[in-house]
Chains A and B, each alone.
Chain A
Amino acid sequence: MSDINFYYLEKATLSNLKKIFNLSDFPFVRLSKFLDIESVDYNPKLEREEKIGYYNRKKGSAVLEEFWQSSEFIKFLGRITGLNPKFRSANHFNYSPGDYSLLHMDESEPNRLSVVYDFTRSWRLEWGGYDIYTSPDKEPLISNRDFGSLMIVKLEKGDLSCTRYVSLKSKESTLIDFITYDLD
Chain B
Amino acid sequence: MRKAEEISQIVQHPFPHAIVRDFLDTATLGLVIDALAGLEYEFDESDLFSYLSFGLTEIDHPVINILRDDLGDDFWRKKVAEKFSVKPISKIDMGAYVYGLGDFLLPHDDQVEGRIIAYSLHLTDIEITEKMGGALHIYEADKSGKSTLVKSIIPEYNSLIMFEVSNHSWHQVGEILADIQRLTVTGWYHV
Residues of A within 8 A of B (CB): 50-54, 56, 98, 100-103, 126, 132, 162, 164-165, 167-169
B135 → chain A closest CB, angstroms:
12
* B47, B109, B139, B177: the one within 8 Å of A164 (CB): B47
Contact A52:B170 (CB < 8 A) given known A165-B104, A167-B175:
yes
Q: Whole-angstrom distance between the alpha carbons of A91 and B51 in the complex?
A: 32
Closest 3 CB pairs of A and B: A51-B145, A52-B147, A52-B141
Count of residues in B whose CB is under 8 Å from the partner chain: 19
Which residue among B47, B107, B133 has the maximum number of chain A CB atoms within 10 Å of its CB? B47
Q: Whole-angstrom distance between the alpha carbons of A54 and B141 in the complex?
A: 12
Beyond the given pairs A52-B107, A102-B106, A169-B175, 13 more chain A to chain B contacts, judged by CB atoms under 8 angstroms and listed by A's residue number, are A50-B145, A50-B147, A51-B144, A52-B139, A52-B146, A54-B145, A98-B175, A100-B47, A101-B47, A162-B47, A167-B175, A169-B102, A169-B177
Check if A102 sits within 8 Å of B146, measured CB to CB.
no
Check if B146 sits within 8 Å of A50, measured CB to CB.
yes
Q: Which residues on A sit within 8 Å (CB–CB) of B139?
A: 52
Can you name the residue of chain B whose Cβ is closest to the Cβ of A54? Answer: B145
Can you name the residue of chain B whose Cβ is closest to the Cβ of A127? Answer: B102
Check if A53 sits within 8 Å of B170, measured CB to CB.
yes
Q: Whole-angstrom distance between the alpha carbons of A100 and B49 in the complex?
A: 11
Interface membership of B48, Cβ < 8 A? yes
* A50, A56, A100, A168: the one within 8 Å of B177 (CB): A168
Contact A132:B47 (CB < 8 A) given known A126-B102, A165-B104:
yes
Contact A103:B47 (CB < 8 A) given known A50-B145, A165-B106:
yes
Q: Which residues on A sit within 8 Å (CB–CB) of B177?
A: 168-169
Can you name the residue of chain B whose Cβ is closest to the Cβ of A97? Answer: B175
Q: Which residues on A sit within 8 Å (CB–CB) of B106?
A: 53, 100, 102, 165
Interface membership of B87, Cβ < 8 A? no
Q: Which residues on A sit within 8 Å (CB–CB) of B107?
A: 52-53
Q: Whole-angstrom distance between the alpha carbons of A51 and B109 in the complex?
A: 13
Can you name the residue of chain A whose Cβ is closest to the Cβ of B105? Answer: A165
